[in-house]
């Protein structure tokens, strides 16, 4: 390492964010940029540890520990410290097709397993990563690299989200003719419509990379739903192999009294229509407006946070985020040791913005909704809640139990359900006669990705269930490797 004592000399520093009360007035990205001098110092904090857990990408206690795509983190940290940005970009692209995506939206399990993080704040891996790729784009180093020769093999990728894009990029590098089918009007899947613009800019970041893939030879066909507008048997007939990367888009519902009321929506209905309105610069018929409303978001994850941030930008009257789990501790609990993902309290951008506008974190913990109350017009006007405690049932499983006397009524003219996803939608899997696992996912072994149909592969959330963007990249790359092996008898893809 260029600075063996860097971790002793420099403190962890992240770039400043735009002021919460300023940024809720637009859809621009939240984060500002650090100077090269500051980034070099942060790269110097990488401590030349004997065994760098940051790029292991293992599952520990069911959670990602280290980088699932095995980014060469210590190497490019050192290169940034030395000012060798072009070389750092080359190292980054060896393992990551789209670092401008992961550097913005990945929760950074690499930092959770950073060795320095055992005693001091972890290295700012995620910010260094996005700074490398942004530096590369700014300097014109990220250019189309079409394959030198084609194999004559044709591959269809169904779904243009993270898994589909990474599979397409890798298969194109191998020389195959790749066509990506997307049912939405724009490619990108979750990256386009599942993540708000202030976290991941669509025009400047997502569509920029997709345009590069097109220049490299990848073909995108939008407004096409395989199994409906395009028969699945035609797909199998026209292509030598098919990769399913449709995601886990079946949302978890909350079947309580009043669920049918107007004003109660799934989070993705709200977020998708909003991003489409931002990109189209007008509100279409599906737009869901939070302006002037009391909003209740049910669910405490990233999607719930995105609903909070989006509602604030609409100009909501109030915002409450209901979380059934207990409030996480400020520091690691004894049963959550390094290098597990740290289950500690995090204040994300949406909570920070809500606190700045309304004076308090919008989250309430150990609480569940019991009823949606209607007004005279069938519109939701309130959410009835109760506090819960987690107790073990006769099978030893923890379940929530309502606590009598803790009932409350929250005013709400808009309720957003952000409780995660149950798995992939089934019609396409049924049409292709793909076997399912007990959780309704496409049945295909990890690292093999082969289904019961000899020419159909499955990867990403439709195979493993709802997971991190970076796991989708891992699986897309892996499925491309195994698909290339199937087509050619051998593969050079990593």
- Tens of pLDDT along 18-55? 999 999 999 999 999 999 999 999 999 999 888 899 98
d(CA 118, CA 338): 7
Cα within 13 Å of Cα(403), Cβ side: 12
- CATH architecture for the domain at 253-419: 3-Layer(bba) Sandwich (3.50)
Distance CA 426, CA 421 (A): 13
pLDDT reported for residue 58: 87
- pLDDT > 90? residue 3: no
Q: Which among 185, 184, 188 has a CA at the least distance from the CA of 163? A: 188
Top CATH class of 154-249+422-488 equals: alpha beta
* φ/ψ (deg, to 5) at 132: -65, -50
Other beta carbons less than 10 A from residue 281's beta carbon: 6
Q: Quote the CA–CA distance of 128 and 134 in Å, as a whole number.
A: 10
Average pLDDT, the chain: 96
Global pTM reads 0.95
Whether the per-residue pLDDT at 229 is higher than 70: the answer is yes
For the chain, the domains span 6-138, 154-249+422-488, 253-419
Asked if pLDDT for residue 61 goes beyond 90, the answer is: no
Question: What integer pLDDT is reported at residue 296 of this predicted model?
Answer: 98
For the cut 70, the answer to whether the pLDDT of residue 320 exceeds it is: yes
User: Per-residue pLDDT averaged across 466-487, rounded?
Assistant: 97
Q: What is the dihedral of CA 273, 276, 280, 281, to 10 degrees?
A: 60
- pLDDT exceeds 70 at position 62: yes
Which pLDDT does position 64 carry in this prediction? 85
pLDDT (tens digit per residue) in 428-465: 999 999 999 999 999 999 999 999 999 999 999 999 99
CATH classification number, 6-138, choose in 1.10.1060.10, 3.40.50.300, 2.40.30.200, 3.10.450.50: 1.10.1060.10
**What pLDDT, on a 0 to 100 scale, did the predictor assign at position 45?**
96
Q: pLDDT band at 265, cuts 50/70/90?
A: very high
pLDDT digit string, tens, across residues 351-408: 999 999 999 999 999 999 999 999 999 999 999 999 999 999 988 899 999 999 999 9
Residue 346, SS3? coil
Fold match between domain 6-138 and domain 154-249+422-488: no
Alpha helices in 106-144 (DSSP H): 109-112, 125-138
User: For the chain, how long is the longest CA-to-CA vector?
Assistant: 71
Q: How far apart are the first and last CA of the chain?
A: 26
Q: What percent of the chain has pLDDT over 90?
A: 94
- Annotate 416-464 with DSSP letters as a single string: EE---EEE--SHHHHHTT--B-TTSSB---TTT-B-SSTTEEE-THHHH
Query: How sure is the predictor about 1, in pLDDT bands with cuts at 50, 70 and 90?
Result: low
pLDDT at residue 396, as a whole number: 87
Q: CA nearest 191: which of 374, 460, 10? A: 460
How many other C-beta atoms can be found within 10 angstroms of the C-beta atom of residue 105?
21
Q: Give the pLDDT mean for 134-161.
A: 97
Give yes or no for residue 291 having a pLDDT over 90.
yes
């Amino acid at each position: 390492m260029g600075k063996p004592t860097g971790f002793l000399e420099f403190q962890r520093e992240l770039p400043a964010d735009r002021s919460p009360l300023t940024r809720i007035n637009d859809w621009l990205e939240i984060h500002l940029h650090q100077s090269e001098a500051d980034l070099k110092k942060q790269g110097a904090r990488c401590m030349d540890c004997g065994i760098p857990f940051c790029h292991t990408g293992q599952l520990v206690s069911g959670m990602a520990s280290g980088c699932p795509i095995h980014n060469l983190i210590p190497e490019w940290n050192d290169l940034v410290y030395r000012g060798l940005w072009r070389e750092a970009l080359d190292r980054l692209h060896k393992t990551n097709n789209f670092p401008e995506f992961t550097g913005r939206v990945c929760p950074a399990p690499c930092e959770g397993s950073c060795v320095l993080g055992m005693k001091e704040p972890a290295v700012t891996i995620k910010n260094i990563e996005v700074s490398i790729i942004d530096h590369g784009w700014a300097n014109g180093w990220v250019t189309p690299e079409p394959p030198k020769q084609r194999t004559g093999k044709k591959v269809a990728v169904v779904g243009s989200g993270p898994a589909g894009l990474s599979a397409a990029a890798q298969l194109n590098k191998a020389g195959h003719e790749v066509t990506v089918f997307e049912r939405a009007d724009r490619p990108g899947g979750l990256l386009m419509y599942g993540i708000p613009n202030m976290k991941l800019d669509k025009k400047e970041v997502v569509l920029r990379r997709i345009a590069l893939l097109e220049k490299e030879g990848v073909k995108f066909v939008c407004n096409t739903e395989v199994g409906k507008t395009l028969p699945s048997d035609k797909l199998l007939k026209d292509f030598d192999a098919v990769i399913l990367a449709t995601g886990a888009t079946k949302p978890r519902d909350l079947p309580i009294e009043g669920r049918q009321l107007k004003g109660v929506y799934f989070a993705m209905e709200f977020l998708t229509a909003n991003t489409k309105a931002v990109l189209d610069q007008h509100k279409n018929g599906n737009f869901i407006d939070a302006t002037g409303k009391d909003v209740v978001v049910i669910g405490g994850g990233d999607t719930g946070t995105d609903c909070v941030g989006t509602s604030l930008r609409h100009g909501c009257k109030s915002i409450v985020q209901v979380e059934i789990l207990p409030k996480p501790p400020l520091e690691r609990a004894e049963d959550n040791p390094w290098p597990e993902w740290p289950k500690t309290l995090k204040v994300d951008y949406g909570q920070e913005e809500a606190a700045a506008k309304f004076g308090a974190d919008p989250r309430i913990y150990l609480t569940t909704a019991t009823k949606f109350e209607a007004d005279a017009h069938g519109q939701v006007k309130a959410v009835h809640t109760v506090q819960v405690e987690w107790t073990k049932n006769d099978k030893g499983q923890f379940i929530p139990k309502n606590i009598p006397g803790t009932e409350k009524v929250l005013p709400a003219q808009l309720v957003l359900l952000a409780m995660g996803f149950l798995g992939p939608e089934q019609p396409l899997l049924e049409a292709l006669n793909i076997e399912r696992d007990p959780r309704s996912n496409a049945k295909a072994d990890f690292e093999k990705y082969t289904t019961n149909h000899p020419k159909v592969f499955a990867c990403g959330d439709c195979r493993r269930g709802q997971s991190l963007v970076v796991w989708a990249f891992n699986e897309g790359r892996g499925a491309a490797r195994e698909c290339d092996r199937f087509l050619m008898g051998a593969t050079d893809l990593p």
